[in-house]
Structure formats: structure tokens, C-alpha cells
């Protein structure tokens, strides 16, 4: 864009300069012609001392015309018009023997009219040279200006491009490190300084939000634990469905506070407590937390994991599946064991994932089922912390399907004997 604007400006300036140059040349030519005409007219009307001298020479263009319009005398190059009627009328520019001549007239007393011409060959050649130079400049200037402008622009914007690259590498889920500043204090330096100040404010705001969220979760945790234990004992002593429902709601709130605590701490602030547990232990815990789940696959293997975190991740997936399937729907959890990985597949008979959400379903507070929108985000975070992945899609036969995959660290027979 800059090169195009510069080219347009150069064209306008060049055209103006050439136009001014041609105008000055034309003015000088007219001044020379008028000076010549005045000199010859003065010679005719003077004392006669210089009569005829300035009009001599083979290339002189002069004629003396009487009052009747007859040519009384002419210079040698115009000898053909001598004694003939004046042939050019009122024209100021005529062609004589393929030469363009510009003419001027002067009254010379009783002699009549003096006609003086001056060839324009030099002026035309100069005009053509100037126009040719302008045309050549307009052809070659873009060829030079565009690559030079591109190179200068790339060099000038390299700092900004580097700043954009650094800004793209910022991970909002991690510590927001400030961007390195260039040595030269230019516009890029000012931009990066402003970005660094913004990053500092964002990180401070995130820290305050996490602290406040952690305090809220901590204040809710203690009474929820007491309430959950009380309702659990009450549900054991009573078959009242309202008490059982309240106990399930207390469990739901407890897991929601755990999700909030996970979100407040962040992935970098959590340390996994690794244990090698039987898969059946994990299955029994999940069966108590989400009743009605159908377990399929290979549950006779061992799992190296953080049992509490992995239980939390799978419980969130099963709770979402139960919510989507409804009380009469089906929820299954399948475990597949390979030497490389353990794959947990949660599938429900519900309507499937909401259209258009895609990977946004794993972002915090994005929900398609009316929940808090934290469960899937926390479950994926836990999967990543275990070195695995979590993906979701709508099954071709209907319903949602989530696949949580973690590396398999199965112990050998010798290691299994040692641990037992």
C-alpha cells in the first residue's frame, strides 16, 4: 500500500515537474522569438544602419509584407514566396519544408508588416526527450519501488512480527510471562511494553480470582462434608425417597466443589499421588457414585494413576452421561487394555453432543446439558496430567461418547509379586 501511494505521488510530482519544464521552455522560446522580431523591426524602423543584416543567412525565416498582402522581400529559405501573396494568414505556427516554424508579426512603419519565424525543431526534440524520460521513469520506478518497498516494509515490521509470534505463544492456562523488549525504543518497544503491562494486570486479576474461588470452595467444603455424611446416614436408616434424593444432591455439590477447586488451583499447582490399584477398585467407587452404570470390558487389570483424580474425571463423564440419558436411559463404561494404553469409553443413550460446539465443549463453563460446564474441562485436565487424552463425539448409532485414554503401566509378574 505504501509503495502504491508512493508511486502515485511520484507520478503526480514527475508529471508536474515535466509540465513545468515544458512550460518554461515554451516561454523561453516565445521570449526568444519576440526578441528576434523586436530586433528586426527596430532595424527596419531605425536609421537604416542595420537594415537587412539580422535577416540574412540561409536559415533565417523573415518576410516583409506590404499593406496589400504581397511579400516584398523574403529571406533565402523563403525565396519561393517572394513577390507572391502572403500565404499563412493569421496562423502563428506553420510548416515550411517539413520544419515547424513559430511566427510573430511586427509593424514596421510605412514598410508594412514584418513576419519573423523561428524553427521549433529544438523545442520539439526537448519536449519529446522529456516525455520519453517521464515514460521510462514511470515504467522502471514501480519495478524498483515495489521490491524496495517490500524489503523496507518487511524489515521495518520484523519487530512487530516477532512480537506477534511471541504473543501467539502465550498460554493463558500457564504463567503469563512478559515478552522480551527490543533494545531500540521504537513503536514496537512501546507496543510490547503495553502488552507486558496488560499481562501483569491479567495475571494479577487471575490470581485474585483463583484466591477468591479457593476461599469460597474452602468455606463450602466443610459444611457440605457434614451435610453429605448426615444425609448418607439418614438414607441408610430411612427409605424416604426425598432423603435419598437429597443425599444424591449433596454428592453432586461435593463433586462440583472439587471441580471448582481443581479450576482454582490450575494444572501446574496440582501434584498427582500415584498408586497402582486394581481396576475393580476404581469400578466399585464409580458404581457407588453413579448408580445404574453398566461396566463392560477388562476390569481385571491394574492401573497406575491418582485414584482420586481419575475417579473424579470418570465420575464427571458418567454423571453427564446419566443426565443426558435420563432415568430410563442407559450409561455404559467400557475399559480396554492394551500394552500401550488403557482406554475408558463412556457412552449414553441420550441425544448426543450439541451441534456446533465441537472442542468448545471442553472449555470451562461451556455446557450443552444444563450443568455447570466444569466437569468436562476438569476431566480433560486430569487426563492430560496423566499423560493421556480425552475426546468426545456423537456416536454414529446415537448418544454421546467420550474416550479417556491414559498410558498403560502394567506391572510384570515379578513386580506384581513384590507389590503384593
pLDDT digits (tens, 9 = 90+) for 72-103: 888 888 888 888 999 888 888 888 888 889 99
Contacts of 340 (CB under 8 A, 6+ apart): 407, 408
Return the C-alpha cell found at 52. Answer: 537587412
E strand segments, 140-284: 275-278
Of 257, 316, 261, nearest to 289 by C-alpha is 316
Segments making up each domain of the chain, as ranges? 2-134, 185-270, 271-419
**pLDDT of 417:** 42
Q: For residue 136, what is its C-alpha cell?
A: 521510462
DSSP 205-222: HHHHHHHHHHHHHHHHHH
Fold (CATH) for 271-419:
Heat Shock Protein 90 (3.30.565)
Pairing of strands 331-337, 293-297: parallel
Neighbour tally for 217: CB within 10 Å: 20
The residue whose grid cell reads 505556427 is 93
How many Cβ atoms from other residues are within 10 Å of residue 102's Cβ?
20
263 vs 379: CA distance, rounded Å: 11
Contact 331, 321 (CB under 8 A): yes
Rounded to 5 degrees, φ, ψ at 368 are: -115, 5
The tally of CA atoms less than 13 A away on the side-chain side of residue 317 is 30
Question: Cell numbers at residue 276, please?
Answer: 497402582
Half-sphere exposure of 254 (CA within 13 A, CB side): 19
Report the C-alpha gap between 155 and 149 in whole angstroms: 10
pLDDT tens digit string along 138-159? Answer: 778 777 877 887 887 777 777 6
Name the stretches of the chain with pLDDT < 70: 46-59, 159, 171-177, 248, 252, 255, 259, 262-270, 365-373, 410-420
Evaluated on CA atoms 53, 54, 59, 63, the torsion sign reads negative
pLDDT in the model for residue 303: 94
Q: Phi first, then psi: what are they for 46, rounded to 5°? A: -85, -150
Partner residues linked to 394 by β-bridges? 400
2-134 and 271-419 agree in CATH topology:
no
SS3 percent helix, strand, coil of the chain, rounded to 5, is 55, 15, 25
Which three-class secondary structure state does DSSP give residue 186?
Answer: coil
In words, the CATH class of domain 2-134 is alpha beta
Q: Distance between CA 226 and CA 223 in Å, rounded?
A: 5
Furthest C-alpha separation in the chain = 149
Cα–Cα nearest to 352, from 316, 292, 401, 390 = 401
Give pLDDT, residue 384: 92
Domain boundaries 185-270, CATH class: mainly alpha
Q: What is the pLDDT of residue 184?
A: 73
Whole-structure pTM value: 0.48
d(CA 269, CA 196): 23
pLDDT at 288: 83
DSSP for residue 356: T
What is the C-alpha separation between 46 and 365, in angstroms, rounded? 108
Residue 319's CB: how many other CB atoms inside 10 A?
21
Bridge partner list, 334:
296, 345
Rounded CA-CA distance 334/20 in Å is 88
Amino acid at each position: 500500500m505504501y509503495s502504491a501511494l508512493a508511486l502515485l505521488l511520484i507520478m503526480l510530482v514527475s508529471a508536474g515537474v515535466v509540465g513545468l519544464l515544458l512550460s518554461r521552455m515554451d516561454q523561453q522560446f516565445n521570449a526568444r522569438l519576440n526578441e528576434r522580431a523586436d530586433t528586426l523591426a527596430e532595424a527596419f524602423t531605425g536609421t537604416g544602419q542595420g537594415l537587412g543584416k539580422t535577416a540574412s543567412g540561409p536559415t533565417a525565416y523573415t518576410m516583409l509584407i506590404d499593406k496589400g498582402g504581397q511579400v516584398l522581400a523574403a529571406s533565402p529559405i523563403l525565396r519561393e514566396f517572394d513577390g507572391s501573396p502572403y500565404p499563412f494568414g493569421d496562423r502563428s505556427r506553420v510548416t515550411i519544408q517539413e520544419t515547424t516554424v513559430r511566427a510573430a508579426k511586427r509593424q514596421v512603419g510605412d514598410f508594412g508588416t514584418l513576419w519573423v519565424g523561428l524553427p521549433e525543431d529544438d523545442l520539439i526534440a526537448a519536449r519529446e526527450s522529456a516525455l520519453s524520460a517521464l515514460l521510462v521513469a514511470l515504467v522502471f520506478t514501480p519495478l524498483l519501488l515495489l521490491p524496495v518497498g517490500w524489503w523496507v516494509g518487511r524489515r521495518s515490521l520484523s519487530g512487530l512480527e516477532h512480537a506477534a509470534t511471541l504473543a501467539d505463544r502465550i498460554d493463558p492456562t500457564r504463567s503469563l510471562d512478559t515478552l522480551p523488549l527490543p533494545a531500540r525504543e521504537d513503536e514496537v518497544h512501546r507496543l510490547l511494553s503495553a502488552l507486558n503491562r496488560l499481562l501483569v494486570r491479567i495475571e494479577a486479576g487471575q490470581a485474585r480470582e483463583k484466591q477468591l474461588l479457593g476461599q469460597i470452595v474452602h468455606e463450602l467444603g466443610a459444611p457440605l462434608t457434614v451435610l453429605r455424611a448426615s444425609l448418607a446416614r439418614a438414607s441408610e436408616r430411612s427409605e424416604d425417597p426425598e432423603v435419598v434424593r437429597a443425599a444424591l444432591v449433596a454428592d453432586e455439590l461435593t463433586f462440583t466443589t472439587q471441580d471448582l477447586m481443581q479450576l482454582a488451583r490450575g494444572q501446574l499447582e496440582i501434584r498427582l499421588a500415584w498408586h497402582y490399584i486394581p481396576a475393580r477398585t476404581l469400578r466399585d467407587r464409580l458404581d457407588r457414585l453413579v448408580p445404574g452404570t453398566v461396566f463392560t470390558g477388562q476390569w481385571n487389570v491394574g492401573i497406575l494413576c491418582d485414584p482420586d483424580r481419575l475417579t473424579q474425571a470418570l465420575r464427571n463423564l458418567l454423571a453427564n452421561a446419566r443426565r443426558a440419558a435420563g432415568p430410563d436411559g442407559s450409561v455404559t463404561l467400557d475399559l480396554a487394555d492394551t500394552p500401550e494404553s488403557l482406554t475408558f469409553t463412556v457412552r449414553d443413550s441420550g441425544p448426543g453432543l450439541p451441534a456446533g460446539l465441537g472442542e468448545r465443549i471442553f472449555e470451562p463453563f461451556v455446557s450443552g446439558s444444563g450443568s455447570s460446564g466444569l466437569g468436562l474441562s476438569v476431566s480433560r485436565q486430569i487426563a492430560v496430567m496423566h499423560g493421556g487424552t480425552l475426546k468426545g463425539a456423537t456416536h454414529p448409532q446415537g448418544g454421546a461418547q467420550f474416550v479417556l485414554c491414559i498410558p498403560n503401566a502394567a506391572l510384570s509378574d515379578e513386580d506384581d509379586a513384590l507389590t503384593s
